Amino acid sequence: MITVGLFGGSFNPPHVAHALVGLYALETQGLDELWLVPTWRHAFGKQLASYDDRIAMCELVAAALGPRARVSRVEETVARARGGESRTLYTLDHLAAAEPARQFRLLIGADILGETASWLGWDEVCRRAPPIVIGRGGVAAPPGATLSEVTMPAISSTELRRRLAAGEAVADLLPASVFRYIADRGLYRDSAKP
């Protein structure tokens, strides 16, 4: 059985902490593969850069992580089949049917643990894809959470978008290829909205 780490998120934009999490998970968590899974639309209504731009930026991150990392458009497939709605539980349903030779683990940051009450079927998600929880600088995990021994830097896509919109320096917080992509496409310039 192939074990796949599903690293979902808005990736709006993907930054160096995302790349570090991916490398950490591949090298320490017994994963055969790592799939970056950009959200089709944010479940809680946050404004995002286009799906295709976020896919392209994630592909740049995956390329740097090597051949065991790739980007999956499964959220798009699921959302289109469900009238635009994509939730993690639906994604896992789809993957169980489409990829029976793979077992899945959900890769999440500790900051997500405070939001799980609003997830659809969180307990079932955990049963189907036992989470690997990565510590995040500046975020305290709820009592009883099992965290990795590694804490990733406190880098926020929200703060990066604000800084990009304001013309402030961000090059040391983004993979170089993602920084070039954002600059070439003029992303995040015209609005500081999250």
**Domain of 27: which CATH number?**
3.40.50.620
Report if residue 159 sits inside a domain.
Answer: no
Query: Which residue's entry shows tokens 């959470």?
Result: 145
How many domains does the chain fold into? Answer: 1
Ramachandran region of residue 131, left (φ > 0), alpha (ψ -120 to 50) or beta? Answer: beta
Report if residue 149 sits inside a domain.
Answer: yes
Report if residue 176 sits inside a domain.
Answer: no
Can you name the residues that pair with 34 across neighbouring β-strands?
A: 5, 69
Report if residue 185 sits inside a domain.
Answer: no
**pTM for the whole thing?**
0.89
Encode pLDDT of 16-51 as tens digits: 999 999 999 999 999 999 999 999 987 666 789 999
Report if residue 189 sits inside a domain.
Answer: no
Encode pLDDT of 80-103 as tens digits: 999 888 899 999 999 999 999 999
Domain that holds residue 30: 2-154
The predicted pLDDT at position 51 comes to: 96
The predicted pLDDT at position 36 comes to: 98
What's the burial of 54, exposed, middle or buried (CB within 10 Å: 0-12/13-18/19+)? buried
